[in-house]
Amino acid sequence: MKKRARVLLIDDDPDFLETTKMVLQGKYDVSMASNGEEGLKRAQVERPDVILLDVIMPLTDGFTVAECLKRDPQLSKIPVLMLTSFSERVSETTIPVSRGMSLEAEDYIPKPVTPDELLRRVGKWA
């Protein structure tokens, strides 16, 4: 039997974490982190197959977390899918739009995302 892929969700919105986990847990083993620092630590310990990463978070934003993941030789091959409402919320944050352009993220998924679309996009990488 094939081992289930592991997905790490990193998002500061507890409701989004829970609903996204419910969508994914039928197909994947899902772990969660509620901020960037915790997400980096979980990635180092758990070595997930895919990381779903929110952009706008307090303390450490998703772009910074993604850069740390891609610089770490042991984590750099893990696909990072950026989940974001960034384009609608650009005025609410100090993060420059140009930060996302230089990132090596494998995909950008706009929020809100339908369950079917989320499963399709994660399935491409898991």
State the CATH number of the domain containing residue 114: 3.40.50.2300
**Does residue 48 lie within any of the structural domains?**
yes
Order of all β-strands in the sheet with 107-110 = 29-33, 6-10, 50-54, 80-84, 107-110
User: How high does pLDDT run on average in the chain?
Assistant: 87
Residue 101 within a domain: yes
Q: How many structural domains does the chain have? A: 1
Can you point out the beta strands (E) in the chain?
A: 6-10, 29-33, 50-54, 80-84, 107-110
* More confident site: 61 or 42: 42
**Is residue 70 a part of any domain in this protein?**
yes
Percent helix, strand, coil in the chain, to 5, is 45, 20, 40
Per residue in 90-126, pLDDT (tens digit) is 455 554 554 555 567 888 888 889 999 999 999 999 9
Give the domain range for residue 34.
6-125
| Residue 111 forms part of a structural domain | yes
Cβ atoms 78, 113 nearer than 8 A: no
